[in-house]
Amino acid sequence: MDNVRSSQRCGRRRIRGLIRRWLVPPLIGCLALVTMSVPATAQRRAVGAHDGDLAVVRGILSQPESDIDLASAKLSIDRLMDPSVDAQATLRSLDAMAASLKAAIPVGAPSRLKLEVLRQHLYTANAWIGHRPHHYDLDDPLGRNLRNKLLTVHLETRAGSCISMPILFVVLGQKQGIDLTLATAPNHVFVKYRDERGELFNLEATSGAGFTRDVWTRQQFLMTDQAVAGGVYMRPSSRKESVVVMVGTLLEFYERQGLRELQLKMSRMALDHNPRDVAVILHQHAASLWFSNLLVNRYATPDDMPAAERASFVRHEVALRALFQRAWSLGWRPADEAQDAAVRQRAAKAKATQLEKTK
């Protein structure tokens, strides 16, 4: 028991350090990151332009599960980050793509054949996509560029992320009657495919939607047995849970824009619909930590803090401990920095292979 408590205390100190380093950057660094990664149109939005964001997402999540359209949900959320997103035009484009796919699939084809047609259409150079296959952006292996996570940007550039690519694959596949859903691993989203026998398979949308075994996924994205057994990772997501995954990108946007109160409120609402989404729990933790640090940094010593603000500080600290314990109890553990290095190495190797093929 002492070892467990010691491990939790060490983990808590480590995550506080990680969040201070990565989720609460200095103002200058934050502004530089926003300039590089956030859609340009979003930077010009007026103060108060996000007042209706909670209502938009609440409206999506309040629908019955069967009524949620993932494409519409994704575009509505993307539009909150970039108001230039033309949701209706993109939906028409997706419908046209789906109709073209349907014409290429033999009548009565089994789902596996439909799946192969979809994979070939998206990931090989062919006239259907103007000989510009969809591919993972190897220049952004850790998914720092929010633009790569917008569905419209991915459709335009063909370069995507582990958010935009699986969402597009699932949306188009569902329109063909293929049983596809999103699934998550630590800092990653992939696709679950269920065949006519009810057997589940993993598809890696960032790599040609190839089949992957559970053991391979768990080697690439380290996770505890507890997190897998508890359904935090590696299971098919419901439509509402998929919307919460999409909200994760919106929370990243709020963080980079300095919209901490909205980050806090949106994460709370999202967790009402998927209490096991650790990424959202950590966003709520980051926002609470920011408010806690804001109070601390106002005063030279704790004794200088007025009673009312001291009470607010205590509430934030209690919330921080509860959120950390909540994530820990679900089986989450802080990422090993070696994992990020391994991802960069794999991306560099894949990019070198691509360059070699073009010679």
- Residues 125-139 have a mean pLDDT of 90
Task: Enter the tokens of residue 79.
Answer: 């539009």
Sequence spans of domains, the chain: 9-358
Instruction: Count how many residues are written for the chain.
Output: 359
If phi > 0 it is left, if psi is from -120 to 50 it is alpha, else beta; for residue 110 that is: beta
Q: What is the pLDDT of residues 108-126, one digit of tens each?
A: 999 999 999 999 999 999 8
CA angle 252/183/73 to nearest 5° reads: 55
pLDDT band at 358 (very low <50, low <70, confident <90, very high): low
> What span, in angstroms and rounded, lies between the C-alpha atoms of 326 and 1?
18
pLDDT of residue 355: 62
Is residue 19 over pLDDT 70? no
At 174 the pLDDT is 98
State residue 336's pLDDT score.
78
Q: What is the pLDDT of residues 40-51, one digit of tens each?
A: 434 444 557 788
CB 45 within 8 A of CB 85: no
Provide mean pLDDT across the span 251-276. Answer: 97
Does residue 268 surpass a pLDDT of 50?
yes
Q: Which of 18-27, 201-210, 317-326 has the lowest mean pLDDT?
A: 18-27
Q: Give the pLDDT of residue 343.
A: 72
What are 306's two structure tokens? 């007025």
pLDDT tens sequence across 273-325? 999 999 999 999 999 999 999 988 998 887 888 998 889 889 989 999 999 99
What pLDDT digit, counting tens, does each position of 160-177 carry?
999 999 999 999 999 999
What's the pLDDT score for residue 9? 44
Give residue 359's pLDDT band: very low, low, confident or very high (50, 70, 90): low
Question: pLDDT value at position 40?
Answer: 40
Average pLDDT over the chain reads: 86
Nearest to 161 by CA among 171, 148, 147, 146: 148
Q: Radius of gyration over alpha carbons of the chain, in Å?
A: 21
* 3 pLDDT more than 70: no
Q: What is the pLDDT averaged over residues 250-268? A: 96
With a pLDDT cut of 70, the percent of the chain lying above it is 84
- Contact between 145 and 347 under an 8 Å Cβ cutoff? The reply is no
Residues contacting 257, CB < 8 A, separation 6+:
34, 38, 42
